[in-house]
Amino acid sequence: MIKFQSVFKHRFGPVAIVAVLVCAISFITRIILLIKSWPSLELNPLSFLGIFLIGFFYDLVVSSFFAIPVALYCWLMKDSIYQKKWHRIFLFILFFLISFILLLNAGAEITFWDEFSVRYNFIAVDYLIYTTEVLGNIWESYNIPLIGVGVVLATIAVVFLVRKKIIASQQVSMRFAKRSTFFGIFLLVTAAGYFFVNNRFKNITNNNYVNELGGNGIYEFGTAYWNNEIDYNRFYATKNDTANFKILKDMLQAPNATFTNNPLSIERVIKNDSAENKWNVVLISVESLSGDYLKHFGNKENITPFLDSLIPHSLFFENFYASGTRTVRGLEALSLAIPPTPGQSIVRRPDNGDMFTMGNVLKTKGYDVNYIYGGNAFFDNMGKYFGGNGYTVLDKRDIPEKMVHYTTAWGIDDEGAFDYTLTQCDKSFAANKLFFNHIMTVSNHRPYTFPDGRIDIPSASQSIAGGVKYTDYAINKFLKDAQQKAWFKNTVFVIVADHCSKSAGKTDLPVNRYHIPCFIYAPDLIKPNLEQRLTSQIDLAPTILGMLNLNYTSRFLGYDIFKTPAGRERAFISTYQDMGYIKDGKLVILSPQKKIETFTPNFTSGAAAKIAPDQALINEAIAWYQGANYLYKNGGYKMIK
């Protein structure tokens, strides 16, 4: 029987050490995350066992990837050098780097879980790409010098613990041919992990926390990085394209819409009987404004006093749902009025210019169209996307220093961005031009700091409540300042969240995590009302254009909700892999491997009970998602020439 010690007393013993380090650190991380998630787990012995067995499997796969440079080193290095005492210094340095990365990742995973309640996903990938904002945010939010010292000391301790195992590998000679055999076997195992393993193996229950705990953060990061876009027709349930578009045309039919004869298009002429309304539009998309932050929806902290007071004076949507969990997904829905497609948002993809956006439509009507962002519009590809789709992009580089009260890594304070927006409205008004200004706020974002003296929560608290309440204050100030302007009475103000602050829950798509507020405020133009109908984020642009009574040829997949017959209401919610379709109190989820499930969701708790398939609803879900993918891929969502 081979002794455990002999595994390390081998030329490729360092590969085994890497596996032990990865599995041990991942196991400890998994325990910590399990403790943090304990109230939401609903564990039974089988799922508890699954977390650790499946987790161990993913840890081994990750360890094989991590061990590639070590295995390569052990294979190529001659015995005459490898066995020298001085050579162990290089081995110690190599293991110091590996251990440092693993420990740093463990801390990052725990922090990421605290904020998003999931392993790494597209958000983590974006954070790696946009280092200026992210590293600045980390520096402002955490005591980095102290954390750095702690990680270095922990790394030194780990290397000290495994030092004898590392040295043991130097005591065995092995010819190149034999080393090549071991290295070849290692490569086969690693290749098998790459080609035959995917991140769906961990999904053993209906409780998303259990499934996430069974995963490995590094593996999930790699999956998100490589799957920037997922081929819908290859991985999801499909139907005949012509049949899909027939369903879509039936669903999109409205009294003022006339479709073209193209069977694979939803292009339609919107023609109204009365004159167009020459109104300005200011659209404020608020960072991470969950519905449950409002007192109206049960919040007890009073962190949105102004927005709550605005409800009786607005057209307020009670049942309004974000289409995704990221700012770029919200911006996609608000500008393109298209259901989410698997993978990354269209805002982040190539070939996303000259598309059928709300900005492009209003530009053809003579509007000044601006996208105003308090941060750097390079982030999330916003500048390129909006700049290529009818908008003039204005970001913190355009905002005069005198308007800036406070700056974080994400950008300037919301007050400064709103004050700058007022100047753009004034500029258009002075030129006798109608305007559409879309503003994206930044203050409700970690580190949740803002100018002092505005609200009763100190900036130093770095609390989400403070970030929300400051943005509420800034919107109040903006509308009060706007009321003093000559253009105010002819302007429609729209306030809507880009997404909720948290997206994870017990289920893959917890519907309560997509519920966001939406206000349309124009006291001289639009009658206040509580709109109870189910409304999707992709419906907002066509609905606003409907209020303007515009005549145009539409390629939007969103509804003008007030021209849509009762009974057709639906909403779309998604992660980057799971596509959800809500209608008639049911939820259909389309997932990779052509998986389809139907649930009855609890709109308050986010829980969902699995039910028998509803084929008519499934056909609709496929039609919307496959149809959106078809239009995007085949130019059906480009501007009409």
Q: What is the CATH number of the domain that holds 616?
A: 3.40.720.10
Higher pLDDT, 300 or 88: 300
Same domain, 274 and 170: no
Rounded CA-CA distance 431/366 in Å is 12
Is residue 221 located within the same domain as residue 254? Answer: no
Q: In terms of Cα–Cα distance, which of 408, 366, 397, 382 is closest to 137?
A: 408
Examine the domain organization and report whether 474 and 623 are in the same domain: yes
Give mean pLDDT, residues 284-294. Answer: 96
pLDDT at 133: 56
What DSSP element (H or E) covers 139? helix 131-141
DSSP string, 151-203: HHHHHHHHHHHHHHHHHHGGG----HHHHHHHHHHHHHHHHHHHHH--TTTT-
Q: What is the mean pLDDT of the segment spanning 609-635?
A: 97
Residue 12, both tokens: 């490729």
Task: Give the predicted TM-score (pTM) of the model.
Answer: 0.78
The parent domain of residue 627 ranges over: 241-633
Same domain, 57 and 169: yes
Residue 234 domain-assigned (yes or no): no
pLDDT digits (tens, 9 = 90+) for 175-220: 999 999 999 999 999 999 999 998 888 888 878 788 899 999 999 8
Last residue of a domain, one of 161, 196, 226: 226
Mean pLDDT of 342-358: 92
| Total of domains in the chain | 2
Residue at which a domain ends, from 226, 255, 277? 226
609 and 482 belong to one structural domain:
yes
Residues 307-332, mean pLDDT to the nearest whole number: 97
Q: Is there a single domain that holds both residue 451 and residue 497?
A: yes
Residues 153 and 266 in one domain: no
Ramachandran bin of 311, using left for φ above 0, alpha for ψ from -120 to 50, beta for the remaining angles:
alpha
Answer yes or no: is 235 within a domain: no
- DSSP for 426-463, written as a single string: HHHHHTT--EEEEEE--SSSTT----TTSSSS-GGG--
What is the per-residue pLDDT for 1? 36
Residue 2 confidence class, pLDDT cut points 50, 70, 90: very low
Q: What is the pLDDT of residue 553?
A: 97
Q: What is the rounded distance in angstroms from the CA atom of residue 389 to the CA atom of residue 349?
A: 13
Is 245 found in the same domain as 218?
no
Closest CA to 63 of 34, 89, 24, 33: 24
Whether residue 232 is contained in a domain is answered as no
The pLDDT of residue 126 is: 64
Q: Are residues 409 and 482 in the same domain?
A: yes
465-474: buried (b, 16+ CB within 10 Å) or exposed (e) per residue? bbbbbbbbbb
211 & 272 share domain:
no
271 and 221, same structural domain?
Answer: no
Mean pLDDT of the chain: 92
For residue 236, is it within any domain?
no
**Chain centre to alpha carbon of residue 477:** 29
Residue 583 lies in a domain: yes
Region 291-302: what's the mean pLDDT? 96
In this structure, are 321 and 402 located in the same domain?
A: yes
Helix (H) or strand (E) holding 422: helix 414-430
The answer to whether residue 525 sits within a structural domain is: yes
> Would residue 366 count as lying in a domain?
yes
Whether residue 272 has pLDDT greater than 70: yes
Taken as a whole, the chain contains a residue count of: 641
Domain boundary among 195, 226, 257: 226
Q: CA 263, 264, 269, 270 torsion: positive or negative? A: positive
**Residue 616: inside a domain, yes or no?**
yes
